[in-house]
């Protein structure tokens, strides 16, 4: 084998995972479910972490038994009505699912159910989620969309001079790996061999060739997986060489480099690189808000408040929806037309329909639902620094500093969008 063809083998591995995969496709499918006014959808999120001293005890199950069990009574539903029958069947099926064989690695669960419409979808996650229950005419998708968006899949290229691993990481778990092995030509000989200068020249040629192969495989992995970012892990000299060899389109997605030893475990590599991937996501959020600011104004490429963003979504204009993670707003919907609006239900139907068809909705949920239906990107802007929103913070969130991206989006009411197109030079969104 020649010095400029150092790679002996390239192996591809796909790892079995207890966690749900292809969540974007699931979100799109849930967003396209028809509204159910008479028998509401049930959306549950459950913290499924085992208690430290009582492994069989999980707060999510306790929450279900103590709080969600009273849901029907809280809604004051009459027995044997469609809403009552549907929710009762949903809760029974939820209990049956939770009593089944759930992998111990699962820390968070989402369940979307509507027995009247034959809907029962479960999502198993490697990260904890907050215990919560919601009912409504459509599934409540914001929390799951936020999880999918907040920590998108990323690649780690962990390598030395002869061995490389390109790992696909999704929510702190390794899903796929490309393993590249190279030979150690030229072998150093203590006597009777090449001079040190010739040896070093051939060794450098082999390393350069290995780095080129690694750059090609990394670009291929990014294309095939759609990972949001890339982290290079190794010694400083090698990571610099690989970074310089990467295609410009790959360099644009580089989240950073980190020094790691040759024998670090995959789990430790994920632990060390995850903060870089998270920081890259924060930078993407800031960039989106900047683009909204730059496109603000009549005829610009942005929608810059609740009404304009909602209108643009209904007109199919939105390319990227941005929303602060603490944004909430009441609103209304007529799902039969369909048409949506913010604020209290109006006395007269804004679109000339039946005013009795107007129902109250959470606008933040409908913004996400409409964005998913038209394949718009969603950026949920992290509003507090140093706070993990998936876990209870005992009030610490209110004390944490507000991020600059969130502060800038506050100027537009906490929500905005980048448009695929503006209607004209003087008008951005349609009038609905």
User: In this structure, is residue 196 part of a structural domain?
Assistant: yes
For residue 430, what pLDDT is reported? 64
User: In this structure, is residue 271 part of a structural domain?
Assistant: yes
pLDDT in tens, 93-142: 999 999 999 999 999 999 999 999 999 999 999 889 999 999 999 999 99
CATH number at residue 192: 3.30.420.60
Residue range(s) defining the domain that contains residue 244: 151-281
Say yes or no: 271 and 348 in one domain. Answer: no
Say yes or no: 269 and 161 in one domain. Answer: yes
Structure tokens at 145: 């969309």
CATH number at residue 81: 3.30.960.10
Query: What is the DSSP-derived secondary structure letter of residue 384?
Result: B
Beta strand extents in 240-335 (DSSP E only) = 254-259, 302-303, 318-324, 330-334
Are 132 and 27 in contact, with CB atoms under 8 Å apart?
no
Number of domains present in the structure of the chain: 3
Given 111, 131, 150, the domain boundary residue is 150
For residue 1, what pLDDT is reported? 44
Given 248, 281, 314, the domain boundary residue is 281
User: In this structure, is residue 431 part of a structural domain?
Assistant: no
- What gap in Å lies between CA 122 and CA 99, rounded to an integer? 14
Structure tokens at 286: 């800031």
User: In this structure, is residue 10 part of a structural domain?
Assistant: no
For residue 81, what pLDDT is reported? 85
Structure tokens at 336: 């039969």
Say yes or no: 174 and 137 in one domain. Answer: no
CATH number at residue 408: 3.30.1330.30
Structure tokens at 5: 């063809």
Element (H, E) at 162: none
For residue 185, what pLDDT is reported? 64
Say yes or no: 254 and 323 in one domain. Answer: no
The pTM score is 0.88
Say yes or no: 307 and 231 in one domain. Answer: no
User: In this structure, is residue 4 part of a structural domain?
Assistant: no
User: SS3 of 76, please?
Assistant: coil
User: In this structure, is residue 427 part of a structural domain?
Assistant: no
User: In this structure, is residue 124 part of a structural domain?
Assistant: yes
Question: How many residues make up the chain in this entry?
Answer: 432
Say yes or no: 276 and 307 in one domain. Answer: no
User: In this structure, is residue 248 part of a structural domain?
Assistant: yes
Are 209 and 4 in contact, with CB atoms under 8 Å apart?
yes
Say yes or no: 236 and 335 in one domain. Answer: no
Of 119, 111, 117, nearest to 141 by C-alpha is 111
Say yes or no: 314 and 233 in one domain. Answer: no
Say yes or no: 145 and 161 in one domain. Answer: no
- Could you count the other beta carbons within 10 Å of the beta carbon of residue 202? 16
Say yes or no: 185 and 241 in one domain. Answer: yes
Say yes or no: 127 and 144 in one domain. Answer: yes
Say yes or no: 90 and 181 in one domain. Answer: no
Given 235, 255, 281, the domain boundary residue is 281
Query: What is the chain's pLDDT, residue by residue, as a tens digit (432 residues)?
Result: 444 677 878 999 999 889 998 999 999 999 999 999 999 999 999 999 998 667 678 999 999 988 876 776 777 777 778 888 899 999 999 999 999 999 999 999 999 999 999 999 999 998 899 999 999 999 999 999 999 998 899 999 999 988 999 999 998 889 999 999 987 766 555 545 557 677 677 778 888 999 999 999 999 999 999 999 999 999 999 999 999 999 999 999 999 999 987 678 888 999 999 999 999 999 999 999 999 999 998 888 999 999 999 999 999 999 999 999 999 999 999 999 999 999 999 999 999 999 999 999 999 999 999 999 999 999 999 999 765 545 444 444 556 789 999 999 999 999 999 999 876 666 666 665
Beta strand extents in 267-389 (DSSP E only) = 302-303, 318-324, 330-334, 339-342, 359-362, 377-381
């Amino acid at each position: 084998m020649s010095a400029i063809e150092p790679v002996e083998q390239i192996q591809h591995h796909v790892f079995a995972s207890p966690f749900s995969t292809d969540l974007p496709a699931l979100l799109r499918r849930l967003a396209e479910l028809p509204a159910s006014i008479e028998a509401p959808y049930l959306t549950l999120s459950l913290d499924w972490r085992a208690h430290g001293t009582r492994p069989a005890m999980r707060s999510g199950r306790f929450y279900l038994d103590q709080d969600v069990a009273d849901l029907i009574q809280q809604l004051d539903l009459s027995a044997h009505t469609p809403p009552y029958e549907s929710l009762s069947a949903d809760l029974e099926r939820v209990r049956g699912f939770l009593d089944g064989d759930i992998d111990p690695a699962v820390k968070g669960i989402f369940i979307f159910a509507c027995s009247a419409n034959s809907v029962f979808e479960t999502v198993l996650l490697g990260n904890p989620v907050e215990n919560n229950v919601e009912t409504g005419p459509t599934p409540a998708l914001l929390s799951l969309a936020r999880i999918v968006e907040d920590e998108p899949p990323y690649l780690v290229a962990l390598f030395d001079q002869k061995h490389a691993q390109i790992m696909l990481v999704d929510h702190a778990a390794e899903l796929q790996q490309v393993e590249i092995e190279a030979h150690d030509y030229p072998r150093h000989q203590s006597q009777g061999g090449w001079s040190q200068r010739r040896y070093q020249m051939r060794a450098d040629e082999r390393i350069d060739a290995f780095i080129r192969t690694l750059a090609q495989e990394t670009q291929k992995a990014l294309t095939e997986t759609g990972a949001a970012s890339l982290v290079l892990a190794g010694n400083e000299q090698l990571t610099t060489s690989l970074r310089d060899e990467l295609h410009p389109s790959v360099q644009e997605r580089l989240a950073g480099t980190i020094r790691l030893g040759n024998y670090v475990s995959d789990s430790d590599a994920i632990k060390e690189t995850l903060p870089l991937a998270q920081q890259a996501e924060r930078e993407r959020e800031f960039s989106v808000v900047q683009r909204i600011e730059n496109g603000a104004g009549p005829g610009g490429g942005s929608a810059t408040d609740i009404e304009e963003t909602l209108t643009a979504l209904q007109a199919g204009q939105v390319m990227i929806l941005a929303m602060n993670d603490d944004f909430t707003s009441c609103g209304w919907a007529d799902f039969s037309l369909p048409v949506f609006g913010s604020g209290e239900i109006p006395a007269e139907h804004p679109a000339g329909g039946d005013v009795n068809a107007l129902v109250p909705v959470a606008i933040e949920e409908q913004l996400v639902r409409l964005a998913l239906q038209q394949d718009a990107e969603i950026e949920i802007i992290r509003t507090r620094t140093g706070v993990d929103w998936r876990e209870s913070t005992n009030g610490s969130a209110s004390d944490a500093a507000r991020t600059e991206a969130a502060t800038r989006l506050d100027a537009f009411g906490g929500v905005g969008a980048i448009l695929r197109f503006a209607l004209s030079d003087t008008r951005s969104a349609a009038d609905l």
